Amino acid sequence: MSANLAAIGYLVAAVCFILALRGLSSPASSRMGNRYGMAGMVLAVLTTLLALPHAGVGGYLAILVAIGLGGATGYTVAQRIQMTAMPQLVAAFHSLVGLAAVFVAAGAFLEPQEFAITRPDGPTSPTPATVTRPVPAATSTSVMPADRPLRLSTSRRYQAPLPRAVRLSALS
């Protein structure tokens, strides 16, 4: 797949995501918003799979297994969660997104040539991984305990399960 075709695929997926957010703003249009979001994600994943320049059978198999595991986990959690616990579910899923971003940044730092962030004149530039790592690390360690106050009664005093120093250590 050419770079221009991949860019068009990602652009259309981004428009679908924007339409999804617009649709999810009202209960009357939420089903259509969900459909736009699903279509955008399918398009983004397909574009990514088709744009991979050197993925072999093992690479595609690993990607499909990961998608299957993630989908099964998300489906199971979504079926078991009560509507009153939706804020906790959203907080938990957001922390997983932050954790995934930490892993991507670590991968980019450890294997920069796979992410095309090497300089042609020599050593690797660690700037992208260094700059992007702290934000998702802070997100994933701060959002996880953030849903707990929602579950506690107002008569109990809340204490964060992780000390602030531990959460801030992820920033370094």
Using CA of residue 141, residue 87, residue 105, residue 132, what is the dihedral sign?
negative
65 and 115 in a single domain? The answer is no
Q: Given 36, 56, 80, which residue is the final one in a domain?
A: 80
74 and 4 in a single domain? The answer is yes
58 pLDDT band, cuts 50/70/90, is: confident
What was the pLDDT predicted at 54? 73
90 and 172 in a single domain? The answer is yes
CA angle 119, 50, 126 (to 5 degrees): 20
68 and 125 in a single domain? The answer is no
Q: Could you give the CA distance from residue 26 to residue 44 in angstroms, rounded to a whole number?
A: 25
Q: Given 51, 80, 109, which residue is the final one in a domain?
A: 80
64 and 138 in a single domain? The answer is no
107 and 130 in a single domain? The answer is yes
Q: Does the structure show a pLDDT above 80 at 63?
A: yes
* Contact between residue 96 and residue 143 where contact means Cβ atoms under 8 Å apart: no
74 and 132 in a single domain? The answer is no
Encode pLDDT of 91-126 as tens digits.
777 777 888 888 888 888 888 777 777 665 655 555
45 and 116 in a single domain? The answer is no
Q: Tell me which residue of 133, 127, 137, 114 sits closest to 53, measured CA to CA.
A: 114
Q: Could you give the CA distance from residue 128 to residue 112 in angstroms, rounded to a whole number?
A: 9
The domain in which residue 166 lies consists of 82-172
What was the pLDDT predicted at 108? 82
96 and 171 in a single domain? The answer is yes
What's the total number of domains in the chain? 2
Between 147 and 83, the more confident residue is: 83
Between 123 and 73, the more confident residue is: 73
138 pLDDT band, cuts 50/70/90, is: low
Q: Given 80, 107, 126, which residue is the final one in a domain?
A: 80
* 133: DSSP letter: S
128 and 145 in a single domain? The answer is yes
70 and 95 in a single domain? The answer is no
Q: Does the structure show a pLDDT above 90 at 60?
A: no
This prediction's pTM? 0.55
17 pLDDT band, cuts 50/70/90, is: very high
Q: Residues 43-63: what's their mean pLDDT? A: 83
Encode pLDDT of 1-13 as tens digits.
788 898 999 999 9
* 105: DSSP letter: H
